Structure 1
Amino acid sequence: MAGVELTEVVKRYGDVQVIHGIDLKIAEGEFCVFVGPSGCGKSTLLRMIAGLEETTEGTVRIGARDVTREDPSQRGVAMVFQTYALYPHMTVAENMGFGLKMNGHPRSEINSKVAEASRILKLDDYLKRKPAALSGGQRQRVAIGRAIVRGPDVFLFDEPLSNLDAELRVEMRVEIARLHKEIGATMIYVTHDQVEAMTMADKIVVLRAGRIEQVGAPLELYRDPDNRFVAGFIGSPSMNFLSGTVKGGAVEVPGLKTTLSPAVTLPSEGTDVIVGLRPEHLSVGTGDVLTVDLTEALGGVSYAYLTADTGEKIIVEERGDIRSDEGDRIALTIDPARIMVFDANTEMRIR
């Protein structure tokens, strides 16, 4: 095992810069997730660590070694891709051991390592099958097994669950989290799905446009985001944002037809701000303020989609047997301690 350290890392394609001076430390044995919207640079950054993309400027270290200019095969990493990339004519056991075979390892060592990977991933019953006889989840486990047998210092996952259906994604999230706990390896995982990030990570790195917006533990980012982007990206459904203005030591929110008193130090009178409210922190009350457009009933929880008279959209989480109906006019009850406030211009959090 080894940690990973990036120092002022830059990536350019000609005159276009896509990674902007990233500094990041990932501790040995840590499960770190890169998350962000499409095009934010998360896969590029992962490929730079792997050596599949050249680092234009800066330093990449794995453990004590500077690997910035080393070939991928010399870096001590193993990568699991979105596509399984299995050899269709080989059995599961042959696929997992192929890399070691090509590097001239003894058959006894290959068999031992394949057997251990098979035990960890519960593939013992499938070792003689070929990929065509496996489900998508089983194929992805074989791809992960192929990485395990190499005994890398760092595992790199590039959106490995994107091709799976919803049920299999949940199953594989559990499998990968269990794998991390069992082997204790350093893992870096790329996804655009913040639910994957929240449920699997020790540390989340939120990226936007090739820059790090915030780094922290999942609940830290959820409870204490630095800016509107992180607040809106972490959490499902997304945080609600409403325009407001500081007046009389409180925030006037036209969309809610009320004045809120958040537990923060507000800027000067007349300053425009953005009020952030998570769906699970809102309660439906009686009133004629918001219109219910739609209610999604999901069993133990429902989500009411509301429209304010200002045109702003709000989502509210509802629990219990009484749910809002389409066309209802309602008001919201809001706990002041749960209100977040952001500067309207910089979108940075006001604390």
Structure 2
Amino acid sequence: MSGVQLSRVTKDFGPVRVIHGVDLQVDQGEFCVFVGPSGCGKSTLLRMIAGLEETSAGEIRIEAQDVTHADPADRGVAMVFQTYALYPHMTVAQNMGFGLKMNGHPKAQIAAKVAEAARILKLDPLLDRKPANLSGGQRQRVAIGRAIVRGPKVFLFDEPLSNLDAELRVEMRAEIARLHRELGATMIYVTHDQVEAMTMADKIVVLRAGRIEQVGSPMRLYDDPDNRFVAGFIGSPAMNFVAGRVQGGQVVTGAFDATLPATSPALTEGRAVEIGLRPDALTLTADGPFRVELAENLGGTTFAHLRAPSGEKLIVQTGQRLDPAGGGSVGLTFDPAHAFYFDAQTGQRLR
């Protein structure tokens, strides 16, 4: 399928390799999100696709055309950065159409493209304003509009919402998702916020230390992570992990007064494992050995921070309202079918 294809792509800064042989296919019209912790290489990979960073080895194709060493202007991409980079002395309309003007497009064509982008982004009433008279969300929409008027093959977003407050981030997430549905364009979006990734993406690429850990739909990564890193990174609050060991055909752990069935052939006798449990898979009961250290009451949902007798910490998502200061003891129950098992040394999923 056309779109964006990376084949064994690497990036070196001197003797240091920061991107390690990445293979990836982003299909035409797909919304793909690169996610991972700071320093994992997601922005570097995006800049390589844009042509802003030289590719050390491998191949990059956009709509089947080899652009590995092509100039950024010849790749058919438009990039939206974390900073808006608007010209303060220009109006919204002038900012949006400036790139086309510099490339010699006729005034009538520029005006038509700016008007269409303004319609899509609901910027019509703001076209004569200057950036100083706009809110942060409006400035970001202008930056996106500047990309739309170019009619690129691929839109690239580098953490575009990180400068906005929480309410505006939610609003702009919806705007960008709506924009993707309306344009049907290929979009690649970089963020460190896994909530953005889960709510916007068709496909998520989880990166760590310049390598792809797993690729899949948001719910595939949530329900079926390949390793402990992905399991702990995808989901908010994060998955709980407790130490365990396979003994006598059962998985035992000091965190719970219970054993779990060793349902997988990979759970061999004596193997040290980590048991993963999602906060929403745990249920509080009235009495038990878990000490409540903190309760985050969010209205309809509460996140209860617990300490197990073994000293391990757990977070439980519940509909109960608890004392925010904590205190008291509770019990926990869960369906063993909702437990995930990971090798204690490698972190790989044991299926």
Q: C-alpha distance in 2, partners of 1:324/1:246?
A: 37
CA distance in 2: counterparts of 1:316 and 1:337, whole angstroms: 17
Cα deviation, residue 165, structure 1: 0.1
1:158 correspondence with 2:138: no
Displacement of 1:29 after TM fit? 0.4
1: CA distance, partners of 2:38 / 2:251? 34
Matches within 5 A, 1:13-162: 13-162=13-162
- Partners of 1:90 and 1:263 lie apart in 2 by 65
Distance 1:185 1:20, change over 3 A: same
Report the Cα distance in structure 2 between the residues aligned to 1:212 and 1:189, rounded to whole angstroms: 15
1:290 corresponds to:
290
Deviations 1:139-195 (A, max 9, x none): 000000000000000000000000000000000000000000000000000000000
Distance 1:297 1:198 in 2: 23
Alpha carbon RMSD of aligned pairs, Å? 1.4
Matched length: 351
1:256-267 counterparts in 2 under 5 A?
A: 256-261=256-261, 263-267=263-267
The Cα offsets for residues 23-81 of structure 1, whole Å up to 9 and x where unpaired, read as: 00000000000000000000000000000000000000001210001000000000000
Instruction: Give how far 1:322 is off.
Output: 6.8
Contact 2:296 2:324 in 1 (8 A): no
Equivalent residue letter for 1:215: V
Amino acid at match of 2:238: S
Residues 1:241 and 1:315: Cα distance change in structure 2 (over 3 Å): same
Partner residue in 1 for 2:243: 243
Give 1:312 deviation, angstroms: 0.9
Provide the secondary structure at the position in 2 that maps to 1:306: strand
Is structure 2 residue 186 aligned with structure 1 residue 186?
Answer: yes
- CA–CA separation in structure 1 for the residues paired with 2:185 and 2:220: 23
Q: Which residue of 1 aligns with 2:279?
A: 279
Change (3 A) 1:237 1:97: same
TM-fit CA distance, 1:13: 0.4
Q: CA deviation at 1:258?
A: 2.4
Offset of residue 346 of structure 1: 1.0
User: Kindly tell me: are residues 289 and 261 of structure 1, through their superposed partners in 2, closer, same or farther at Cα, counting changes over 3 Å?
Assistant: farther
C-alpha deviations, 1:86-107, integer Å up to 9, x for none?
0000000000000000000000
SS in 1 for 2:255: helix
Q: Which amino acid aligns with 2:99?
A: G
Amino acid at match of 1:72: P
Query: 1:201–1:218: 8 Å Cα contact kept in structure 2?
Result: yes
CA shift at 1:262, angstroms?
A: 5.9
- Tell me the secondary structure at the aligned position of residue 350 of structure 1: coil
- Residue 250 of structure 1 and its aligned partner are, at CA, apart by 1.3
User: TM-score, normalized by length of structure 2?
Assistant: 0.98
- Structure 1 residue 310 and structure 2 residue 343: aligned? no
Amino acid in the other structure paired with 1:184: G
Q: How does 1:156-235 map to 2 (within 5 A)?
A: 156-235=156-235
Structure 1 segments of 4 or more deviating over 6 A?
A: 322-325
Asked if the contact 1:262/1:340 (under 8 Å) is kept, the reply is no
The whole-number CA distance in structure 1 between the counterparts of 2:285 and 2:262 is 19
Q: CA deviation at 1:330?
A: 1.5
Q: Distance in 2 between matches of 1:310 and 1:168?
A: 42
CA distance in 2, matches of 1:2, 1:104: 29
Alignment partner of 2:105: what SS?
A: coil
Change (3 A) 1:92 1:140: same
Gap regions ≥5 residues in structure 2: none
Q: Which residue of 2 aligns with 1:328?
A: 328
Provide the C-alpha distance between the structure 1 equivalents of 2:194 and 2:296, rounded to a whole number of angstroms. 21
Confirm or deny: 8 A CA contact 1:262 1:339 kept in the other structure. no
- Report the more deviating stretch, 161-170 or 253-262: 253-262
- Return 95-104 or 311-320, whichever deviates more: 311-320
Q: Distance in 2 between the 1:110 and 1:80 partners?
A: 19
- Please say if residues 256 and 290 of structure 1, whose CA atoms lie closer than 8 Å, have aligned partners that are also in contact: no
Identity of aligned residues (%): 68
Kindly indicate whether the alpha-carbon contact (under 8 Å) linking 1:292 and 1:324 is maintained by their aligned counterparts in 2: no
Kept in 2: contact 1:2–1:29 (CA 8 A): no
- Bigger CA drift: 98-107 or 304-313? 304-313
Distance (whole Å) between structure 2 residues aligned to residue 246 and residue 45 of structure 1: 40
Distance 2:53 2:204 in 1: 22
Question: Once structures 1 and 2 are overlaid, which stretch shifts more, 233-242 or 255-264?
Answer: 255-264
User: Which residue of 1 is the match for residue 5 of structure 2?
Assistant: 5
CA distance in 2, matches of 1:243, 1:324: 28
1:254-309 CA-partner distances (Å, limit 9, x unpaired): 01232122654452211110000000000011333211001110000000001112
The secondary structure found in structure 2 opposite 1:199 is helix
User: Are the equivalent residues in 1 in contact too, given 2:246–2:262 (CA < 8 A)?
Assistant: no
Where in structure 1 are there 5+ consecutive unaligned residues? none
